[in-house]
Homo-oligomer: A and B are copies of this chain.
Amino acid sequence: MRYTPADELQRRIARFQSMLCQKGLDGALIVQNADLFYFSGTIQRAHLYIPAEGKALLMVKRNLERARQESALEQIVPLDNPKELPAMLDAYGFGVPARLGLELDVLPVVHFQRYQKLFAASRLEDASGLIRTARAVKTPFELERLAEAAELCRIVFGSVPQWLREGMTELELAAEVEACFRRHGHQGLTRTRGFNMDISYGHTLSGANLAMPSFFEGPIGGVGLNPSFTMGSGTKAIGRDEPIMVDQVGVIDGYGVDKSRVFCMGRLPAHLERAHSVALEILAGIREKARPGVTGGELFDYALQKAKDYGLADHFMGHKEKVAFVGHGVGIELDELPVLAKGVGMALEEGMVFALEPKFVFPEGAVGIEDTLVVRANGLETITLFDEGIIYLP
């Protein structure tokens, strides 16, 4: 098992602390699993206090021993009852924070109300924007994890041709894809931050199912197996001459990359082949344009304009129901920053990582591509390298 080194945690915390200082917050109380992992290196039932200045304090209800083994933080103490939080912060010299940051984008109201009572003299503010901004820029350590996730995807996507056969159901193909991920070390869990953003491994869809929109914020949806999880693979048989899109999140050591490729047994009609070429042109164009300083909004506008130039705007990022983005940050969660969407002013920075997914959806299926890319000083680096064309099988 690989643990996050002490200097790595320190680097992450220091970056976040400078943001806390800038915003005038005295500290932040971190409780959500993904954020706990990012800042402490482990997920326990715990509270992590990050003061604007000074050493972070990890207070653990369950399990202290594991926390001490897995986390390289210096200060790890037991805390059975959250009621003891204010006294504990005081004991470690933090006093009563006048302005305390919380993860208000994910924290349920009943939990918040408990903290309101405990910190009655503090102003509780939303620190989730700072946390997400801090996490958007990956460290070299994180980029190594993402490269391993990309390698996992390469193995799985490379095996798809050996599983595909005419007449198998989407579900049967999904079971092969997911079992292969799992055997190679996928943790079986894809984390999302957004409320109600349920997902399992990803989407394995074919033909018209690709055009079925769902509650999930993505260009392709899928009919799903039942109305309690209305997306993803269904029991449709996979046929010849239709697009099969495998869109999956490979997760290794907590870090995930997002990747899609189109397979086809036989041959796709010319208009789908053409749309796929346009998607590749958009991918190449964004690779050309993107660099630190360019905004997510500019890149989305460029992609949409390209789609319009080719008369494909009606099919870009959805057909009946479109999504208003062409890329999204990835890392510990699937819906990180930056977002490449209309009007987004956040500029790319070196070390950001995002999935770029120009896709075109038609009633009879969808084509396009998704790769995960790192923002480098002079442009983008693709980490999910793989054949970009439609992968034709006999």
**Interface set of A (CB-CB < 8 Å, partner B):** 1-4, 31-33, 37, 41-46, 62-63, 65-66, 70-71, 102, 104-113, 126, 128, 171-172, 174-176, 178-179, 182-183, 185, 187-189, 191, 195-196, 198-201, 212-215, 221, 223-230, 232, 234, 252-255, 320-321, 332
Contact = CB atoms under 8 A, between A and B. Distances in A.
Interface of A is mostly: loop
A90 to B, nearest CB: 25
B225 A187 contact: yes
A171 B196 contact: no
A323 to B, nearest CB: 9
Contacts of A191: 198
A71 B198 CA distance: 19
9 contacts: A37-B227, A63-B215, A66-B212, A110-B126, A175-B182, A179-B179, A179-B182, A189-B198, A226-B252
Contacts of A62: 213-215, 321
A176 B2 CA distance: 25
A228 B170 CA distance: 30
Contact of A175 (B126, B183, B195): B183
Nearest to A186: B225
A153 B223 CA distance: 24
A198 B254 contact: no
Contacts of A104: 108-110, 113
A213 B66 contact: yes
Given A44-B230, A70-B227, A228-B332, A112 B111 contact: no
A221 B221 CA distance: 34
A321 B63 CA distance: 8
Nearest to A213: B63
B1 A226 contact: yes
B110 A108 contact: no
A238 to B, nearest CB: 15
Given A32-B196, A110-B105, A188 B215 contact: no
